Each structure stands twice: as structure tokens, then as C-alpha cells.
A and B are shown apart, each in its own frame.
Chain A
Amino acid sequence: MEKALIALAAALAVGIPAVATAYAQAKIGSAGAGTVAEKPETGGTIIILEAIPETMVILGFVVAIMLILQFA
């Protein structure tokens, strides 16, 4: 039972940020595609903007690994 809970916690730690990141990246990506199509020179800025929300899911992944390694 305890293992199941830990697994669930790890899954949530990755899953929730993943959903949030996906939402944010979808919006930023679609705006970014529009901007880059018109102004290719903004490519660098757009990549950085697009990359910002990704940190959430990386941190979530680290937390999940920690949860599993520490408690399971």
C-alpha cells in the first residue's frame, strides 16, 4: 500500500507539472510560431520563452526520482 502511494506521489510529481508545462508551451509555441514566421530574427528569444515553462517538469522529474529512491 505504502509503495503504491509513493508511486502515485511520484507520478503526480511528474504528471501535474507536465500538464501545466504542456498548456503553457502550447500557448507560447503557437504565438512563437506566428512571430518567427514574420520575424525570423526573433528566433532566439522565442526559444528561450518556449523553454521557460519546461523547468517545471524537469524539477518534477527530479522530485519523483528522489521520492522513489528515498522512500521506495
Chain B
Amino acid sequence: MIPSQKFIGESPNYEYLNAVIRARGTRLLGREVFSRLASGSLEDMELFLLESRYGPRYREQLATGGGSLLGRIENALAWGAADILRETASLARGESLLFFSVILSLGDLHNGRILLRASPGGIRPKNSPAWHRYSLADLAFYDDLWKKSATPADGAVRCHEENHDFARILGESYRVLHETGDLFRAERALYSGWFGWWSERLRGRNNENSRRIEEYLGRLTDLWNFSIWLRPRKEAVSRDQAFLPGGWGFSQEALESLDDPDKLFAGSGWSFVPGKRGERTRSDLFRSFQRHFYEWQKSLYRQNLLGTDVSLGYAAQVVQEWKNLSLLAVGLSLKMPAADLERHLFLQEEGTV
């Protein structure tokens, strides 16, 4: 059930959509639920899922899935989250649908990255990876690429057969990978193609909501740029070429010239303070920044109640809930201690609402 894009021409229905979303938002799982699950077992989680929003998908797994308990749970979670997002998107009309599609399309971006990363060696498990199933492109397309297109060249040719904008972007990235053998450049091609495609689709709109979406895309660009910026200086040549234009807070100049994260963030507009959580490594710092970005998205849920903010905030929470639950399932199957598990989840800070 991919939300039909044919309704994009209609007038937006933020009031209706946001009312539905805010009502559904009460079913998002709170911190205490995660704590309870973390201190239980995988079997407890199974019973919990049966009664939750993921119930219908878990029942489907029970009936036809076979496989291991963990496999069933992971599948049900991925499908469940996708159902929630797609079902919500199918209620949107006009501009609200277009902007919601940006969120769904992030699934395409993630899936494309998974495919590119699995490509060069050509060795991959038979079972499909954990796709972001809420993507705009059909899941069969990704499955087919995974199963039948072992090399980047195969992938590029397969993408050409598809009649979807994202397939064109992915095909382009596959070609880059085929021609250069450089995964990093292929990924950059994917990102820049994706951002370019969306800025093309959003062109000509100028209102509060479109500005918010632009800000969202800009902040996403910042996230990518920051991950490049964190790379060691000796990769400087490829690094400077890798920054994407159109960031929200970091200027191209700052990215290229500054070395100190404090300085980078100081004039950027991001309220993120590097090192505040005691991050030591680059990956810690990046994770902290990702978390900050997530907190920002979540805060939108309570901002403009008659605009696209609510969708952005809600979708971020749904995706995060899925990731948290998946992580929890894996942790429980490894019998990790509850406290360790909880530390790895992105949860509501204690004491905040």
C-alpha cells in the first residue's frame, strides 16, 4: 500500500491529518514501556507486540512466517512501522502529502545506501536486509536488486528498467560505483541526487510549511556534511569535494576551513554543544549529533499544530520507536543486561515531556 501520489494536486488537509496524527500519537510507546521490556525476555516482548500496534503484522508472522522468534519480531516491527507511516500518509492530501512523501522517501535513501554498501563484493545473505519498508518505491524493486543484481553494473541496468525517479538516482549512483569503484563517491552521488530531486519537486513553493521542509532537508544535509567533516584531515582532497551544498547551518566555507567542532557549531544555528555528553570518539560525537537532530524533529510534534511540523515530529518518533524496539529485540536475544540495553536506545530524557 504505497500512498497514491495522485492527490498531490488537491488542497492540503493539515487540520484533519494533524488531528489524526495527534490522536495516534498517544499510542507511541513511552520510556517506561521500554524499561519494562528491557528487563523482560524476548518471549515477553512477543506477547507485548501481539497486543500493540504491531499486532496485525506479528499475527501475520505467526501464521505464515516460521523462522526464529527474533526474525519474526524484527519482520513484524519493520512492517508495522511502515504500515503506520504509509497509512498516515495515505490520509494526507495536496501539499501535506507532498511533504509527507519527503519523509517516506528517506526510506528510499536508506535502502539505496544499504544496496550500494552491499554491492561491490557481491556476497550477501540470501534473505533481504532490514529494509526501510515505508519507502516510496516498491519493496519488490529493492528485493529484486538485492537478489538478482550482484554487481553495480547489474544494478544500474536494472534501475534503468524502473519507471521511478528514485530508481534513476540509484542507477546513477550504481554507475558511479561501477566506474570508479569508490563507495564513498557513489554514496555522495546518491545523496546529492536525492537532495537535488527533492529541491526540484519543492521549487516554487514559499510558505511556512515549505520553509520548514527546506529547513528539514538543510539540516539533513548538515548531518551528512558533518559526517564528512569528522573524517580525518588526510582525506582532505576528497573530503572538501564531498560536502553537499544547501546545508542549513554549516556554510561550505566553515566546513572547509574550521577544525574545531565548537567553532563549527558556534555560529551555525544548531543548539548542539559538542562534548556536552562527554563524547570521546568521532562516532560518539556523530551519534550525539544524530540524537540532537532527532530531538529537534521530535520537538516539532508540538509546534505548528496546523502545519507540516506535526507530521515531521510524528514520523521521526515512529521510525525511532521501530529502531528502538528492533535494538531491544536483538539485545534481549543476546541476553544483554537491562541497563546496558537502555543506554543504547534513543529515549525521552528523564524529566522532560
Binding site for B on A (CB under 8 A): 27-28, 30-35, 37-39, 42
A37 and B23 alpha carbons, distance in the complex (Å):
9
Q: Are B15 and A31 in contact (CB under 8 A)?
A: yes
C-beta contact mask, B18-49 vs A, less than 8 Å → 1, else 0?
Answer: 11101110000000000000000000000000
Question: Chain A: interface secondary structure?
Answer: helix
Q: What distance in Å separates the Cβ of B282 from its nearest Cβ neighbour in chain A? A: 43
Q: Which residues of A contact B24 (CB under 8 A)?
A: 38
Q: Answer whether residue B17 sits at the interface, using C-beta atoms and an 8 A cutoff.
A: yes
Q: What distance in Å separates the Cβ of A44 from its nearest Cβ neighbour in chain B? A: 15
Listed A/B pairs (14) with beta-carbon separation below 8 Å: A27-B15, A27-B306, A33-B19, A34-B15, A34-B16, A34-B17, A34-B18, A34-B91, A35-B20, A37-B20, A37-B23, A38-B19, A38-B23, A42-B23
Q: Are A30 and B23 in contact (CB under 8 A)?
A: no
Q: Which residues of B contact A31 (CB under 8 A)?
A: 15-16, 18-19
Contact among B13, B19, B91, B306 for A35, CB-based, below 8 A = B19
A39 and B17 alpha carbons, distance in the complex (Å):
14
Q: What distance in Å separates the Cβ of B11 from its nearest Cβ neighbour in chain A? A: 11
Binding site for A on B (CB under 8 A): 13, 15-20, 22-24, 91, 306
Q: What distance in Å separates the Cβ of A26 from its nearest Cβ neighbour in chain B? A: 8
Q: Which residues of B contact A33 (CB under 8 A)?
A: 16, 19
Q: What distance in Å separates the Cβ of B1 from its nearest Cβ neighbour in chain A? A: 18
Q: What distance in Å separates the Cβ of B7 from its nearest Cβ neighbour in chain A? A: 15
Q: Which residues of A contact B17 (CB under 8 A)?
A: 34
Q: Are B20 and A30 in contact (CB under 8 A)?
A: no
Q: What distance in Å separates the Cβ of B162 from its nearest Cβ neighbour in chain A? A: 35
Q: Which residues of B contact A39 (CB under 8 A)?
A: 23
A71 and B174 alpha carbons, distance in the complex (Å):
81
Beyond A27-B15, A28-B15, A32-B19, list 4 extra A-B contacts (CB 8 Å). Answer: A30-B16, A34-B19, A34-B20, A38-B20
Q: Which residues of B contact A35 (CB under 8 A)?
A: 19-20, 22-23
Contact among A30, A37, A42 for B13, CB-based, below 8 A = A30
Q: Which residues of B contact A28 (CB under 8 A)?
A: 15
A38 and B23 alpha carbons, distance in the complex (Å):
6
Closest to B24 in A: A38
A32 and B24 alpha carbons, distance in the complex (Å):
14
Q: Which residues of A contact B19 (CB under 8 A)?
A: 30-35, 38
Q: What distance in Å separates the Cβ of A25 from its nearest Cβ neighbour in chain B? A: 11
A19 and B20 alpha carbons, distance in the complex (Å):
26
Q: What distance in Å separates the Cβ of B60 from its nearest Cβ neighbour in chain A? A: 23
Q: Which residues of B contact A30 (CB under 8 A)?
A: 13, 15-16, 19
Q: Which residues of B contact A32 (CB under 8 A)?
A: 19
Q: Top 3 closest A-B pairs, CB basis? A: A34-B19, A38-B23, A31-B19
Q: What distance in Å separates the Cβ of A9 from its nearest Cβ neighbour in chain B? A: 33
Closest to A46 in B: B19
Q: What distance in Å separates the Cβ of A14 from its nearest Cβ neighbour in chain B? A: 26
A31 and B310 alpha carbons, distance in the complex (Å):
13
Closest to B305 in A: A31
Q: What distance in Å separates the Cβ of A53 from its nearest Cβ neighbour in chain B? A: 14
A42 and B24 alpha carbons, distance in the complex (Å):
13
Q: Which residues of A contact B16 (CB under 8 A)?
A: 30-31, 33-34
Q: Which residues of A contact B22 (CB under 8 A)?
A: 35
Closest to B19 in A: A34
